[in-house]
């Protein structure tokens, strides 16, 4: 199946700083990628759909200016958490649909102190 | 959106026991997948199963799309099976279920 590489796997940052998370499709050209957020002991919630060469589509309640998504190439989507606050601490995970199922990155655990 | 409910929410098994996890969904779907999320957060795809039955080693899954449910069977459970099991369905987007947290004790 498609291999999705996500980096970093773990990051700790100070309040007010920005953090960039990268999601790379290693063997598949993905026009669309997806970003999810997972709170402890909870399910995954879709945050946004990343579209190559155009604006991302955000789910209701997700702040576009807080979570900046860039999908500049068919193999790379980035999520930038801007002006991070402790409540942004969470597990973020990306995925893509290869047509016969979704494949997920290994996730990024963000801790804002 | 589509509601995806899983049961039971938590399950503790003795090693070697069998179990059945259930996933109910509220509308017609194009696809259904079962995932295992390990303690490090990695989501491992177990089955892509929009309908029918599939088996992979000690795991098998059955989806009855007309009745809007899917079952995941784990036989002869091992401690490495511990983690959270999610089903997820595709409607107009990918909807995750509520999850079943499985703990297998030696």
**Contact state of A104 with B97 under an 8 Å Cβ cutoff:** no
What pLDDT is stored for residue B90 in this prediction?
85
State whether residue B46 sits within 8 Å of chain A by CB.
Answer: no
What's the token pair of residue B32?
Answer: 């259904």
**Chosen from A49, A90, A104, A111 to mutate, greatest number of chain B CBs within 10 A:** A104
Q: How many CB atoms lie within 10 A of CB B7?
A: 14
Instruction: Please report where in the chains the tokens 């998504």 appear, as a residue.
Output: A69
What does the pLDDT look like over B55-87, one tens digit per residue?
A: 999 999 999 999 999 999 999 999 999 999 999
State whether residue B48 sits within 8 Å of chain A by CB.
Answer: yes
**Contact state of B41 with A103 under an 8 Å Cβ cutoff:** no
Residue of A nearest to B47 (CA): A101
**Residues B2, A28, B45, A104, Cα dihedral to 10°:** -70
State whether residue A60 sits within 8 Å of chain B by CB.
Answer: no
- Phi/psi for A10 (5° steps) reads -150, 135
Among A38, A28, A43, A21, residue whose Cα is nearest residue A97? A28
B29: exposed, middle or buried (C-beta count within 10 Å: 0-12, 13-18, 19+)?
buried
- The answer to whether A94 and A33 have CB atoms below 8 angstroms apart is yes
Q: b or e along A27-44 (b: 16 or more beta carbons within 10 Å of the residue's beta carbon)?
A: ebebebbbbbbbeeeebb
Beta bridge pairs of residue B7: B22
What does the pLDDT look like over A37-46, one tens digit per residue?
A: 998 888 999 9
State whether residue B86 sits within 8 Å of chain A by CB.
Answer: yes
Alpha-carbon distance of A60 to A15, in angstroms, equals 25
State whether residue B93 sits within 8 Å of chain A by CB.
Answer: yes
Contacts of A104 in chain B (CB under 8 A): 35, 42-43, 45
A101 or A94: which leads in pLDDT: A94
Residue A82 reports pLDDT greater than 70: yes
Residue of B nearest to A49 (CA): B93
State whether residue B83 sits within 8 Å of chain A by CB.
Answer: no
Q: What is the mean pLDDT of chain A?
A: 92
Instruction: Please report where in the chains the tokens 């003795």 appear, as a residue.
Output: B14
């Amino acid at each position: 199946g498609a291999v999705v590489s996500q980096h970093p796997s773990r990051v700790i940052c100070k309040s007010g700083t920005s953090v960039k998370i990268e999601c790379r499709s290693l063997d598949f050209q993905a026009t669309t990628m997806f970003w999810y957020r997972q709170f402890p002991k909870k399910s995954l919630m879709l945050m946004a759909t990343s579209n190559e060469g155009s604006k991302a589509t955000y789910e209701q309640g997700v702040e576009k200016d807080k979570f900046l998504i860039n999908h500049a190439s068919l193999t790379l989507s980035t999520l930038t958490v801007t002006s991070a606050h402790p409540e942004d601490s969470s597990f973020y995970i990306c995925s893509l649909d290869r047509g016969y199922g979704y494949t997920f990155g290994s996730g990024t655990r963000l801790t804002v102190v | 959106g589509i509601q995806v409910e899983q049961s039971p929410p938590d399950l503790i098994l003795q090693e070697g026991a069998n179990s059945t996890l259930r996933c109910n969904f509220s509308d017609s779907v194009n696809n259904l997948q079962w995932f295992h999320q390990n303690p490090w957060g990695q989501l491992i795809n177990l089955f892509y199963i929009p309908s029918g039955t599939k088996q992979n080693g000690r795991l098998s899954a059955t989806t009855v799309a007309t009745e809007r449910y899917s079952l995941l069977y784990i036989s002869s459970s091992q401690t490495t099976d511990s983690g959270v099991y999610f089903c997820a369905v595709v409607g107009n987007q990918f909807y995750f279920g509520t999850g079943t947290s499985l703990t297998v004790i030696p």
